[in-house]
Amino acid sequence: MGDPLFNNGFDLGVVLIVLVKSLIGFTFVMVGVIFMIWFERKVIADMQNRIGPNRAGPFGLLQTLADGIKLIFKEDLRPDRADPLVFRLAPYLSVAPAFLTFCIVPIGGVFTSGQDGSVHLFGHTTYLQVADPPIGVLFLLAMSSIGVYGVMLAGWSSGSKYPLLGAVRASAQMVSYEAALGLSVVTVILMTGSLSTHDIVATQAGRFLDWNLVTTAVVPFVIFSIAACAELNRPPFDLVEAEQELVGGFHTEYSSIRFGMFYLAEFMNTITMSAIIVTLFLGGPSGPVLFGPQQIWPLVWFTLKLLGFLFGFVWLRATLPRFRYDQLMDLGWKGLIPASLVWLILVAVIRVGNDQDWPRVVGPLVGLGVAGAVFLLLLGALRTSATRRHDEAEVGS
């Protein structure tokens, strides 16, 4: 560590490291959002046999910048029946959690047994991530929950019925899919034994077979990806802003830069959640060093993995129609939550068996038995609830 600058313990090097890494992280996300908007419009245009943006800059790369400048100079409107303070605060509650979540993502570093990926900056040892709190995964879940408050408060404070309906849908969607998201993350915590994102990536370092996706987290990976798509309000889970039903959903009454902030938050959240998936399941920046400086390759592998998931989100938007509301709820409560809970129990039993030195086959067999029993109990409870609602509906009719 560097020497303190003053006798009271203030260290200028630490402050400079925080400022530099925060600036790099913010720049990475903002530049990524600009290219992500262009990328999504261009890919969807190609899938729909259209041209897409092609006038502002080479290949239309500056079209996003031109749209942002247009939004800045448009008139900022506020409905008469809107709550002034909450109406203005809601866009910030959507943007800030997206950037704060990205701060805990390791975007570089050679995470191998011989090198821990640290770099020296201003006389200190640091990692290529803005922050590495010991409760990083809990911070992720907290920020994903807070981000929904921006949508809810925007719809409630607008004083209009269509944004209010979007806010009600947002609250129900958050409750339905946050549980599945959290259970799938708990499975990763059981496998790695740490809440730190840096430690989670470090346990997956080395070979491709060490990734959580390849070991025992295939089902949590699928559940987390689906639940993340629902948390992001991305198609086919975009019932919060369904244009055909709710005009524009929660941001119908917004204009100018405040509408642009919601637009920015949506794509920023897409990049952040894709980076989280890469961190939890695909080894983060780990990968082989092919040639040249080894410090560059981790960032290259992280970017390539990130682009793969971003393309997947765009592909889903261009391919799948929007879910009905009852289908959205059924998938969350009857599909993802039971599956994530059953897999969590299975992994927990296997870990206990490994700690108790059970024979290699006994742990998985016992885990499958316990998980199957829990799944049957959940399935029976859901069927009983559905039958009761059906009988009540028939009596009411």
- Tens-place pLDDT, residues 67-105: 888 888 888 888 888 888 888 889 988 888 888 898 899
Quote the percentage of the chain above a pLDDT of 90. Answer: 10
Q: What is the pLDDT of residues 191-246, one digit of tens each?
A: 888 899 988 888 888 777 778 887 777 888 889 999 999 888 888 888 887 777 77
pLDDT confidence of 298, banded at 50, 70, 90? confident
Q: Where are the domains of the chain?
A: 77-120+131-323, 327-384
Picking from 180, 196, 108, 169, the residue whose alpha carbon sits closest to that of residue 144 is 180
3-state secondary structure the chain: CCCCCCCCCCCHHHHHHHHHHHHHHHHHHHHHHHHHHHHHHHHHHHHCCCCCCCCCCHHHCCHHHHHHHHHHCCCCCCCCCCCHHHHHHHHHHHHHHHHHHHCCCCCCCCCCCCCCCCEEECCEEECCCCCCCCCHHHHHHHHHHHHHHHHHHHHHHCCCHHHHHHHHHHHHHHHHHHHHHHHHHHHHHHHHCCCCHHHHHHHCCCCHHHCHHHHCCHHHHHHHHHHHHHHCCCCCCCHHHCHHHHCCHHHCCCCHHHHHHHHHHHHHHHHHHHHHHHHHHCCCCCCCCCCCCCCCHHHHHHHHHHHHHHHHHHHHHHHCCCCCHHHHHHHHHHHHHHHHHHHHHHHHHHHHHHHCCCCCCHHHHHHHHHHHHHHHHHHHHHHHHHHHHHHHHHHHC
Q: What is the pLDDT of residues 247-292, one digit of tens each?
A: 777 888 888 888 888 888 889 999 999 999 999 998 888 877 777 6
CB 249 within 8 A of CB 240: yes
Backbone angles phi, psi at 233, to 5 degrees: 60, 35
The mean pLDDT value for 356-379 works out to 61
Lowest mean pLDDT among 43-47, 78-82, 121-125, 223-227: 121-125
